[in-house]
Amino acid sequence: MKKKLLILFTLINVLLFNSCTKDDVSPEEQKNNTKIEFTVLNSAGNAAANATVSLYKNSTDFDSKTNAVQTKISNSNGIALFDNLEPLKYYFYAEKDCQNNLNSGVVFVNPIVEGVTTTANILMTEAESTIHVSSFFDGAYEVYVNNVYKGDISAYGDKYITVESGSYTIKLVQIDYIFYADEYTQSTNVSCGNEVTLEFR
């Protein structure tokens, strides 16, 4: 009789153990275990602490930078961990000072795997700023930015020059002239990722 009770007790324990194995995970637990661990790197390839990293479900939200799924701040090792995620193909945006990842990867190729921690690097580069030179003259001019030649601009033409944020002096020098070349100069400050338009009349 004791032997039968022992066998029955052992059988109950086995059934209970099998019903509680880690393979039998609830949908909520599965979601909790679906994570992305980003390592944010600056333009020098070093870990970027205190970078703001946001996750988006689609390109519309990413482009407008609205409705972020989550936003995190990278730690001292450049790590930003996102959890409780759905298995989707996420867009991501990282920024710090005048650097962001718009010139590198911004979206996963495939949806992340449910119940798994996906790891990825985010490489930030200097955000591009632009000086838009608009000429209202009826002749061609050479364009100089901080005394560095950047090409020519045609009559009533436009020229776009990519720069980093900072202070710049733009000079136009007349190409075709009889006695002396006309010169026109303007100075401007360009902030991170913005475009400044200078009209020469």
Give the burial class of 56: count Cβ atoms within 10 A of its Cβ; 0-12 exposed, 13-18 middle, 19 or more buried. buried
The mean per-residue pLDDT over the stretch 148-174 comes to: 97
> At residue 198, does pLDDT exceed 90?
yes
The mean per-residue pLDDT over the stretch 14-20 comes to: 36
Domains of the chain, CATH where assigned: 25-126 (2.60.40.10), 129-200 (2.60.40)
Confidence of residue 2 (pLDDT cuts 50, 70, 90): very low
Q: Which two tokens stand for residue 174?
A: 């007349």
The mean per-residue pLDDT over the stretch 104-133 comes to: 95
> At residue 166, does pLDDT exceed 90?
yes
The mean per-residue pLDDT over the stretch 168-182 comes to: 96
Q: What is the pTM of this model?
A: 0.66
The mean per-residue pLDDT over the stretch 52-78 comes to: 97
